[in-house]
Amino acid sequence: MTTTQKHEKNKGFIDRDRIHELLDRRAPTDGELDEILNRAFQLKGLPLDDVASLLIVEDPVRIRKIMDCASYVKDEIYGKRLVLFAPIYTGNVCDNNCAYCAFRKSNTTLKRRILTMPEIEREVRILLGEGHKRILLICGETAQNDADYICEAIRTSYRAREGKDYIRRINLELAPMEVSDFAKLKAEKIGTYVCFQETYDPVMYKKYHPPGTPKADYEYRVTVMDRAMEGGINDVGVGVLFGLSDYRFEILAIMEHAAHLETLFGCGPHTVSFPRIEPAENAPLTERVPHPVGDEDFKKIIAIVRIALPYTGIILSTRENEEMRTELFNYGVSQISAGSRTNPGAYGDEGTASGSQFALGDHRNLDEVIKSIVEKGYIPSFCTGCYRMGRVGADFMELAKPGLIKQYCMPNAVFTFEEYLNDFASPATKAAGARLISELVAGVSDAGLKERMTRAIGEIDSGKRDIYF
User: DSSP states of 224-267 as a string?
Assistant: HHHHHHHTT--EEEEEB-BTSS-HHHHHHHHHHHHHHHHHHHS-
Burial class (CB in 10 A: 0-12, 13-18, 19+), 25: exposed
What is the phi/psi pair of residue 342, to 5°?
-120, 25
Q: How many CB atoms lie within 10 A of CB 64?
A: 12
Q: Determine the average pLDDT of the residues in 394-419.
A: 75
Amino acid 269: pLDDT: 96
Amino acid 163: pLDDT: 94
Please say if the pLDDT value at position 414 is more than 90.
yes
Q: Determine the average pLDDT of the residues in 294-310.
A: 97
193's enclosing H/E stretch is strand 192-194
Please state, in angstroms and rounded to a whole number, the distance separating the CA atoms of residues 47 and 50. Answer: 6
Cβ neighbors of 215 (< 8 A, separation 6 or more) are 96, 98, 141, 175, 209, 221
Q: Per-residue confidence at 359, pLDDT binned at 50, 70, 90?
A: confident
Choose among 324, 315, 329: nearest CA to 272. Answer: 315
Please say if the pLDDT value at position 130 is more than 90.
yes
Please say if the pLDDT value at position 351 is more than 70.
no
Q: Per-residue confidence at 360, pLDDT binned at 50, 70, 90?
A: confident
Amino acid 29: pLDDT: 97
pLDDT tens per residue across span 138-173: 999 999 999 999 999 999 999 999 999 999 999 999
Amino acid 387: pLDDT: 64
Amino acid 384: pLDDT: 79
Q: Determine the average pLDDT of the residues in 34-59.
A: 97
Residue 463 three-state SS: coil
Amino acid 393: pLDDT: 62
Residues pairing with 316 in the sheet: 336
Q: Are 415 and 467 in contact (CB under 8 A)?
A: yes
Q: Per-residue confidence at 55, pLDDT binned at 50, 70, 90?
A: very high
Alpha-carbon distances of 259 from 13, 326, 355, 379, rounded to whole Å: 9, 30, 37, 31
Cβ neighbors of 352 (< 8 A, separation 6 or more) are 343, 346
Please state, in angstroms and rounded to a whole number, the distance separating the CA atoms of residues 379 and 416. Answer: 10
Q: Where are the domains of the chain?
A: 75-400, 406-461
Alpha-carbon distances of 391 from 234, 380, 397, 409, rounded to whole Å: 10, 20, 8, 12
Amino acid 398: pLDDT: 64
Please state, in angstroms and rounded to a whole number, the distance separating the CA atoms of residues 314 and 142. Answer: 28
Residue 438 three-state SS: helix
Choose among 435, 391, 398: nearest CA to 412. Answer: 391
pTM above 0.75, yes or no: yes
R_g over Cα of the chain: 21
Residues pairing with 162 in the sheet: 165
67's enclosing H/E stretch is helix 60-78
> By mean pLDDT, which of 194-203, 242-251, 407-416 is the weakest?
407-416
Please say if the pLDDT value at position 395 is more than 70.
no
Residue 336 three-state SS: strand
Domain at 75-400, CATH class: alpha beta
Q: Determine the average pLDDT of the residues in 457-467.
A: 95
Please say if the pLDDT value at position 404 is more than 80.
no
Please state, in angstroms and rounded to a whole number, the distance separating the CA atoms of residues 245 and 231. Answer: 31
Q: Per-residue confidence at 354, pLDDT binned at 50, 70, 90?
A: low
Chain centre to alpha carbon of residue 402:
21
Q: Determine the average pLDDT of the residues in 388-404.
A: 62
Please state, in angstroms and rounded to a whole number, the distance separating the CA atoms of residues 286 and 280. Answer: 6
Amino acid 353: pLDDT: 46
Cβ neighbors of 167 (< 8 A, separation 6 or more) are 124, 128, 132, 133, 134, 135, 157, 158, 160
What is the phi/psi pair of residue 170, to 5°?
-115, 125
pLDDT tens per residue across span 169-214: 999 999 999 999 999 999 999 999 999 999 999 999 999 999 999 9
Q: What percent of the chain has pLDDT over 70?
A: 92
Please state, in angstroms and rounded to a whole number, the distance separating the CA atoms of residues 77 and 66. Answer: 17
DSSP state of 11: S
Q: Per-residue confidence at 434, pLDDT binned at 50, 70, 90?
A: very high
DSSP state of 134: E
Please say if the pLDDT value at position 399 is more than 60.
no
pLDDT tens per residue across span 4-38: 555 456 568 999 999 999 999 999 999 999 999 99
Alpha helices in 131-196 (DSSP H): 147-159, 179-187
Amino acid 408: pLDDT: 72
In the chain, the amino acid numbered 114 is: I
Amino acid 79: pLDDT: 85
Q: Per-residue confidence at 394, pLDDT binned at 50, 70, 90?
A: low
Q: What percent of the chain has pLDDT over 90?
A: 84
DSSP state of 469: -
Q: Considering the chain, what is the average pLDDT of its residues?
A: 92
